[in-house]
Amino acid sequence: MDRWLDHARALDAVADNTIKAYRANVLGFLAFMQGHFGEAQGIGAISRIGVGDMRAWMASERSRGIAPRSLARALSAVKSFYRWLSEREGFEPTAVLSARAPKFHRKLPRPLAEDAAREMIDRVGLQATEPWVAARDEAVVTLLYGCGLRISEALGLTGRDLPLPEVLRIRGKGGKERIVPVIPAAREAVAHYVSLSPFEPEPNAPVFRGARGGALSPRAIQKVMEQARLQLGLPATATPHAMRHSFATHLLARGGDLRAIQELLGHASLSTTQAYTAVDAAHLMDVYERAHPRS
């Protein structure tokens, strides 16, 4: 188990939280198989797991109330472990690798409308009484929407990134790097914050600081957006991550190329990015239903 996780961490650049989930998923699977067969599961026993055993495990998980999406993730971890182990031990993995994940409805991203996204940025800048704090919050949210950054990526910027260039190199999930253009509005918002901040930029220190000078917590941005959305009458889905969704959806609606948007977001799989086409299609259908003379 440890060797497999080390392999995933080193060669596949899997994030720490994913490593923890992998371990829990596979240990749960092996624990079930031990009870299922009534004996400890060494490599020999593991290699003999069949299609019926996989079905029994998945049925047991569903009976415990595990959601289809969570079960699909667990199955993916089990397959990854089994594929790695079979290559090293020389047994046939087909029975496990052929197990089908349960079907589930992929949740569509919930972006804001273009005017709502702009209003959110403006409103966030009015929440704090301290001018530098207000400028900080506005700069962070502008980066989320203007560059499609995750909140962790925006708050991970350091003094080395200042002043913000026209193009940023962002290290995202799993250590994947991507190139992100920085629009003038985002550069100006960050520069304005830096000019007001009581803390001098340092190469290894975070750009965005809390009240005492430490790294800004994601919760601080979540909280200020909660206040703003209540004032604007926006739904609870208007979160920091919704600004990233809005970035992608609005680019697509303006004719952006799906592959380019995939690169900008840092999605490993195009299927993840394709969820935004469903959002745009939903918008088009709404317009059609409201505007078509036969509706």
CB of 62 within 8 A of CB of 10?
no
Catalytic residues: 150, 173, 241, 244, 267, 276
Alpha helices in the chain (DSSP H): 2-11, 16-37, 43-47, 51-63, 68-89, 94-97, 114-124, 131-147, 151-155, 184-196, 218-232, 240-253, 258-265, 270-273, 275-291
Burial of 249 from C-beta contacts in 10 A (0-12 / 13-18 / 19+): buried
Residue/partner pairs of 214-219 with CB below 8 Å, 24 or more apart: 215/155, 216/136, 216/140, 216/155, 218/151, 218/152, 218/155
Angle at 144 between CA 127 and CA 163, to 5 degrees: 90
